Structure 1
Amino acid sequence: MYVTLLGTGAPAGLPRPGCPCAACARALGDEARAATSLLVDGVLLLDVTPGAALAAARAGQSLHGVRQVLLGHAQEDRGPELPTELPAPVRLPDGRDLTLLSGHRVRAVPVDGPGTGYAVTGPDGGRLLYLPPGAAPARENAPGGPPFDLCVLDVAARPDGLALLRETGAAGLTTDVVAVHLDHDVPPGQERRRRLAAAGARAEPDGATLVAGDYQLVPDLPRRTLVLGGARSGKSAEAERRLAAFPGVEYVATGGRREGDAEWAERVAAHRGRRPPGWTTRETCDLVPLLAREDGPPLLIDCLALWLTDAMDAAGAWDGERWSSGPARAELAARTSALAAAVRATRRTLVAVSNETGSGVVPATPAGRRFRDELGRLNAAIAAECEQVLLTVAGTTLPLRA
């Protein structure tokens, strides 16, 4: 089954007409995208957009053989003005099946927002799932396995939709995941490629033709990633984004509770509020047993600086005399070594967050300088055990090791 991407952009296209934002200004060449529309084997059109005939011609295709037009976008059912040779577009009711004379079988997939998704099985047995913009499968009716050969959906805006497909077995290791409905919320170019690759997905330019079931080389997801950054740099959001397309993530919050501190409670609530509903949260600094679990889901630890605070408390490392005499120093070094060894040995997918240190003002107290030095050593020890190390600055992520 061949799928030609007549368009891969958001409903308004990319760049958006009249939009002055930096992402739209950079959406040139292959990054300029018409609204998403798919042509399947030249006979089935999923969503139709203005200029469809011209888009098909640019892709080396023709619409003359189209026998069915199905609407997926949450638009008026009459859609844009169609070329005269196309049949009238229709929207299948959720759960309804349709069989074309060409041998293609289509099922309308319910989604959790406006619009309709479609599961298409070609005469050759190839299987395609297409979802409308801003939508994920409705959980109560989500498609299950066997995995689709090709999933075409809004990965950038709804990574949780991809996570649900992976959870139900509809997307597997061999599934080719292609992001469409691309908008100006993610900068085009390398940053978009990096974010999609972290989700196990990719983007293609308008006019690309895909073969359902064809093997595609998608970068392997690093098993261990360390995300560094200063205060409010976006490091936590980057770490969460890296696992947003995967189900059952275990979020480990090392900050704990602080009685009577309303501002800290607000920070914790904000972190909890942006986590996907399918994630579980564990508040602990006992990280080694979690890393040792061989069958555990992906693990997100936020953050190592707070883990170090707890470790220094336990070792009595804030006491200058105990530190200088040796016992506290030795105990803290042992705790750090044990954590680094656990990261080295873990079989789980891991994303850990830590504060980058040493770039600002030298702390005024010996205890502050001690914490700064030990955090630098901890970051270096954990980074040495990670396949990928990232640095976030002003909401921008820079790969230090990829």
Structure 2
Amino acid sequence: MELTLLGTGTPSGLPRPDCPCATCATAIGPGARAATALLIDGALLLDLTPGPALAAARAGRTLAGVRQVLLSHPHDGPAVEFPAGLPAPGRAADGRELALLSGHRARAIALDAPGTGYDVTGPQGERLLYLPPGAAPAGLPDPTVAGTATTARGGARPYDMVLLDVLGRPDALARLRNAGLAAPTTDVLAVHIDHTAPPGAELHRRLAAAGARTVTDGETLIVGEYHAVPDLPRRTLVLGGARSGKSLEAERRLAAFPDVQYVATGGGRSGDPEWAARIAAHRERRPGSWRTTETCDLPPLLAGEGPPLLVDCLSLWLTDAMDTVGAWDDQRWAGRGAGALRERVVELVAAVRATRRPLVAVSNEVGSGVVPATASGRRFRDELGRLNAAIAAECEHVLLVVAGQALTLR
């Protein structure tokens, strides 16, 4: 089944007319995106957007063979242009399946937001799912409830390709994965891209972290070719200073996965309202399907089987480790303390190296600021720098977050 993307943007397109934002200002050439529309085997057109005939011509395609035009946007969605010669566009009722003379079958999917999704099966059995912006399939197992992960609904195999609003609804992808409808071999394409998306290479990096990708307008793909599915790094280290956005970046990397174990190394600080407020803000931001473990005993978690781990953060782990070995006392540090801490670090680094679980770890970068005034402060700074370097050496992907911008170091 051959798929041509006549557009990959939101109904307003990218850049938006008269918008001065950074994303719109840099959305030129290949970065410009028309409203999303899909041409399948030249016979089925999903969504009718302004200028479809011209968009098809730019992609080296024609609309002359289109036998069915289906709309996915809500009834009060954007105005469309209806070129002469095309079949009258329509919207299938939820659950209805249409059979085309070309051998394709399109089934309307109920959504949790206004609009209609389409499950399309090609003549050779290839399957794709297309969702409008801001929507997820209704009726999928709830990943926030333990034990609801299932095989694909109705015994159907996973989709070969899924096209959806990955940035706006990462939870939709998580639900599809939880239901067994999106597998590691599923090609996940981000469409409906708006000017809220990060510009340039950051867009592709962020999508790759979710196991997704996007392409330029006019590109033609073969549904069922899996070679382009991005490989997810097993280990990622996210560094950054205070309030840099490093925790948000780490959480964003796993937002499209249904079952994540969030490891909070800070624990609770009784009677500290400011610390309690920080913890509450983090909890509210995390998906409800994630479960939280408060511990600094990381090696057993890394050695076990299970869902992805998000460890926030290594600097608090180090604080606990230094507390345990008495690192703040000069005599204890000079005696057994330094060696005991080194053993703890070696054990953690070895566990990171050997883990088979996807891992995203967060740590502070404190080596670029003012030199601490106390010996204990300088000791912590030095040991954290060594720990960060040792963990980074074992990670496939290392990021530095500055002012909310993630810079790829590896």
Same fold judged by TM-score > 0.5? Answer: yes
Band the TM-score falls in, shorter-chain normalisation: over 0.9
Deviates more, 1:150-159 or 1:28-37: 150-159
Structure 2 residue corresponding to 1:174, chosen from 156, 179, 185? 185
Could you say which residue in structure 1 is the equivalent of 2:317? 307
Tell me what 2:216 maps to: 205
Inter-partner Cα distance in structure 2 for 1:139 and 1:389: 37
- What amino acid is aligned across from residue 408 of structure 2 in structure 1? P
Please tell me the residue identity of whatever aligns with 1:198. Answer: A
Are the counterparts in 2 of residues 119 and 128 from structure 1 also a CA contact under 8 Å? Answer: yes
C-alpha RMSD of the superposition: 1.6
Q: Distance in 1 between matches of 2:225 and 2:337?
A: 58
Contact 1:79–1:89 (Cα < 8 Å) also in 2: no
- Alignment match of 1:347 (pick from 341, 345, 356): 356
Preserved contact between residue 77 and residue 89 of structure 1 (Cα < 8 Å):
no
Residue 87 of structure 1 deviates from its aligned partner by: 2.3
Q: Which residue of 2 aligns with 1:132?
A: 132
Supply the AA of the counterpart residue of 1:302: D
Is the CA contact (8 Å cut-off) linking 1:71 and 1:77 kept in structure 2? no
Task: Give the TM-score taking structure 1 as reference length.
Answer: 0.95
Q: Deviations over 1:74-125 (max 9, x none)?
A: 2437941311222222222222222122221111112222211110001121
Is 1:39–1:46's contact at 8 Å kept on the other side of the alignment? Answer: yes
CA offsets per residue over residues 146-202 of structure 1, 9 Å max, x none? 111111111122222222222222111221111111111222321111111112221
Note the alpha carbon deviations across 1:341-365, whole angstroms, 9 max, x for none: 1111111111100001210011111
Q: Deviations over 1:217-255 (max 9, x none)?
A: 344211111111101111111111111122211110111
Q: Deviations over 1:279-326 (max 9, x none)?
A: 111111111110010x211111000001111111111111222112x2
**Superposition pairs for residues 13-32 of structure 1, below 5 Å?**
13-32=13-32
SS at match of 2:140: helix
Within 5 Å, give how 1:278-289 maps onto structure 2. 278-289=289-300
Q: Which runs of 4+ in 1 moved over 6 A?
A: none
Aligned position for 1:263: 274
SS in 2 for 1:226: strand
- Is contact 1:152–1:179 with CA below 8 Å preserved after alignment? yes
Asked if the contact 1:77–1:90 (Cα under 8 Å) also holds between the matched residues in 2, the reply is no
When normalised by structure 2's length, the TM-score is 0.93
Match of 2:149 in 1: none
CA separation of 1:299 and 1:77: change in aligned 2, threshold 3 A: closer
- Select between 126-135 and 63-72 the one with higher mean Cα deviation: 63-72
Matched, 1:95 2:95: yes
Partner of 1:164: 175
Q: Which of 319, 331, 336 is the equivalent residue of 2:329?
A: 319
Contact 2:43 2:67 in 1 (8 A): yes
